Amino acid sequence: MLSKSLTLRKTREGLKYLYKSLLDFIYPPFCYACEERLKESERLICEKCWNSFKVYEGGIKIEKKDLRLLGKTHFSECYAIYNYNVKTLKLIHVFKYSAKSSLSVRMGKELGAVIKKNIFERKFDMIIPVPLHKSRERERGFNQSDLLSRVASSESGIPLFNDIVIRIKNNKSQSQLSFKERIVNVKNIFRVKHPEMIKDKGIILIDDIITTGLTVNSCCGELKKYGAKEIICMAVIHPVEK
């Protein structure tokens, strides 16, 4: 009996080791932001880094002069929740391009908390994520803006509508384009599927990152065309272009 008990215990310990090894393979035990070793309870990003991504209670207002918009601005205000720095940029890149979709939970909760607690005393009727083209979403496996919006909706209590706007052109990623190329790249890329649902509505449009503002402004232009009353744009970060 003793040897059998010992065998079972060793088997359990072996399975536990295999499980931990598998977990370390899926979630490397180093923080993606600072590259320090993670504690056993941490995943992907260490708590020290999360705490350093300061969440401003009212959001960080992105002034229109800090964007690079041409022509009419179709949203009334624009906010980010984290300071822009090397670590927060790494956070977004890992989330977006390394299929670490679980990171959306904490970021989405903090987006939702900013919306719920502070940002707007005005009434907003819906949250809409900036859509990806279907082929891009299939390739990536998820739409990062949709994941953030789902959690933010749950946290804030504002309903999510993720099928009102679609992206009809599989345009190039803005990140590798010149400013002139970016302007052309976002023209006529969105379509409103259900215009009757947005007339006279207050909308919060969510994206993971707002750089020049051209993509969100293009999306807002389509929403405004069909009678959206007011649109606020929100993102996790806003890179400051030099």
Q: What is the CATH number of the domain that holds 205?
A: 3.40.50.2020
Domain hosting 108: range is 56-235
Residue 33 counted as domain residue: no
Residue 196 CB neighbours (<10 A): 9
Residue 20 counted as domain residue: no
- Choose between 183 and 167: higher pLDDT: 167
Mean of pLDDT values over 96-102: 88
204: Cβ contacts below 8 Å, ≥ 6 apart: 115, 120, 124, 126, 127, 128, 158, 231, 232, 233, 234
Q: What pLDDT, in 10s, does the model give residues 37-56?
A: 999 889 899 999 999 997 77
Residue 5 counted as domain residue: no
Residue 40 counted as domain residue: no
Confidence of residue 242 (pLDDT cuts 50, 70, 90): very low
Mean of pLDDT values over 130-139: 93
d(CA 13, CA 33): 32
Token pair of 236, please?
A: 């996790």
| Residue 172 pLDDT > 50 | yes
Residue 4 counted as domain residue: no
Q: What is the pTM of this model?
A: 0.85
**Domain count across the chain:** 1
Residue 9 counted as domain residue: no
d(CA 242, CA 240): 6
Residue 116 counted as domain residue: yes
Residues 118 and 59 sit within 8 Å (Cβ to Cβ): yes
**Percent of the chain at pLDDT exceeding 90:** 59
Residues 44 and 27 sit within 8 Å (Cβ to Cβ): yes
Mean of pLDDT values over 68-93: 91
pLDDT at position 45: 94
Residue 241 counted as domain residue: no
